[in-house]
Structure 1
Amino acid sequence: TVAALVVANAAGSVADPETGVLYGELFQGRVEYPEGRVHEAARRRLAETAALSAPPPLNTTLAVVVTDADLSKAQAQKLAGTAHDGIARAVRPVHLLNDGDTVFTLATGVRPLDPERPLALNDVLAAGADMVTRAIVRAVRAAESVDGPGGAWPSYEELYGGR
């Protein structure tokens, strides 16, 4: 069992500027392209917002990947490193100098890895990256618009609606 929880505030974009589709949805196989008029309205709104607001100097995407697998310290570290691929699937560009992207791993140790399958950890590693990608999509879709010292930034749902 593998799960992820993410706080997404990346310096890069989570949406393709040409289509408005969330990058992370491309990996989930559930792509629904917004109507052209909706996307053009969203692009105009973002351009207006950017002209009135200063981009924040520091950003980060934080993730926690949790598994019930019995992992060694080295295996947990490998899972955290592989889960970073989930961020790379959902944010472009990723891991910039003003990003503090970090993934932590927690393992309860309840389920031992199958000793008959020496590569059993690969399933956990792949799931970790997948769960981080999905969690970023959920975080972006759940986010609310913000009006603060850095400006007034609309949420993805405000721009594109609950497609």
Structure 2
Amino acid sequence: MELNAVGDVKHPHTRQILAGARNPQTGQWLDCCAYLEQHAQSEALAGTNTTIGVIALNAKLTKAEAKKIAQLTQNALARTIYPVHTMLDGDTIFVLGTGEQTFALDYLGHLA
């Protein structure tokens, strides 16, 4: 997964910041949500901060099934990047099936 998010990447359980913007004077993590709240205009360029994920499954998938798994996988972004899908991001997930085996869609979504 390529990560260049506007938001902070946080541990899903502890909420500790694992990656994100740092204050250039102190080196401390910035709280991106608080920063966006305080700065109505961002200095970042739209579309230059993007998280791209690819889910490749050894499974036979229809176009609709791949789309559903991509939708489910968006939850992973929402659980780790704060904020996610800002106007400055191009966050997206691609899903492809490379096999001939059939699995339950809920199972594949859970794995993804």
By the TM > 0.5 criterion, same fold? yes
Across the aligned residues of Structure 1 and Structure 2, the Cα RMSD in angstroms comes to 2.6
**For structure 1, which runs of at least 5 residues remain unmatched after alignment?**
1-5, 15-21, 34-41, 49-53, 114-119, 129-163
For residues 57 and 84 of structure 1, the distance between their equivalents in structure 2, rounded to whole angstroms, comes to 23
**Correspondence 1:13 to 2:3:** no
Aligned length: 92
Report what 1:90 is aligned to. 80
Maintained 8 Å contact 2:66/2:97:
yes
Deviations 1:71-112 (Å, cap 9, x if unpaired)? 111000111111111111110111111110010001013312
The percent of aligned pairs where both chains have the same amino acid is 33
* TM-score, with structure 2 as normaliser: 0.70
For residues 106 and 77 of structure 1, the distance between their equivalents in structure 2, rounded to whole angstroms, comes to 9
Which of the two has greater helix per residue? 1
Maintained 8 Å contact 2:44/2:88:
no
Report what 1:124 is aligned to. 108
* Structure 1 runs of 4+ with >4 Å offset: none
Maintained 8 Å contact 1:23/1:91:
no
Deviations 1:25-78 (Å, cap 9, x if unpaired)? x2xxxx5x7xxxxxxxx7631479xxxxx8532311000011011111100011
* TM-score, with structure 1 as normaliser: 0.50
Report what 2:35 is aligned to. none
Larger Rg computed on CA atoms? 1
